[in-house]
Amino acid sequence: MNSKNKLWAPWRIEYILSPKDGNCFLCSREKSDNKKEDNFMVLFRGENVFVMLNAFPYNSGHLMIAPYKHVGDISLLDKKTLYEISDLTVKSKDVLCEAIKPDGFNMGYNFGSAAGAGCKEHLHFHIVPRWSGDVNFMAVLGDVKVIPQSLRDTAKILSEKF
């Protein structure tokens, strides 16, 4: 595999090395009260699923769509939940297009730790906005990823669009 086939994400080491308390971060966010100052990450709550910002994003606007049900296998979700994930994927893409105008997207699930799932016990769908030229010299030479906007500012912009 050459370097063109690799996705370098050295900024994610903070998450990888951080202590884990054993609680599911998706379940704790799903149950959080967004009125509190420190709980701004959940952007939208549907009937069966919710949309939230990724705390350790690959790019600004990196969203995750997760069911309220704590399952790690897509086969365990009912059709209503699967359809709602699909509907919110389209809605999320439209919100991101309107709010931050990306040139493209990476979207998908990671099933199991071998596939890169950071939380294999609670299924979630990733939507990563991409821009032409978003890999610049900082990431290539400096081993640093530049996220140009704070999570709080991104949350404010996107939550207004949902």
Tokens standing for residue 41: 């990450």
* Average of per-residue pLDDT across 48-64: 89
Nearest to 44 by CA among 8, 100, 95, 114: 95
Predicted pLDDT at 141: 41
Whether 124 is a known active-site residue: answer: yes
User: Residues of 46-69 as b/e, b for ≥16 C-beta within 10 angstroms?
Assistant: bebbbbbbbebbbbbbbbbbbbbe
Candidate ranges 42-46, 76-80, 133-137; pick with highest mean pLDDT? 76-80
User: Over 90: is that where the pLDDT of 149 sits?
Assistant: no
Nearest to 42 by CA among 116, 104, 92: 92
Predicted pLDDT at 162: 87
Structural domains in the chain?
Answer: 41-161 (3.30.428.10)
User: Over 90: is that where the pLDDT of 121 sits?
Assistant: no
* Confidence class for position 112, pLDDT limits 50, 70, 90: confident
User: Over 50: is that where the pLDDT of 65 sits?
Assistant: yes
Assign 3-state DSSP to the chain and report helix, strand, coil percentages, each to 5.
Answer: 40, 15, 45
* Average of per-residue pLDDT across 128-132: 89
Predicted pLDDT at 8: 56
Predicted pLDDT at 39: 66
Predicted pLDDT at 1: 43
Predicted pLDDT at 100: 93
The chain-wide mean pLDDT, for the chain, equals 79
One of 62, 70, 122, 124 is an active-site residue; which one?
124
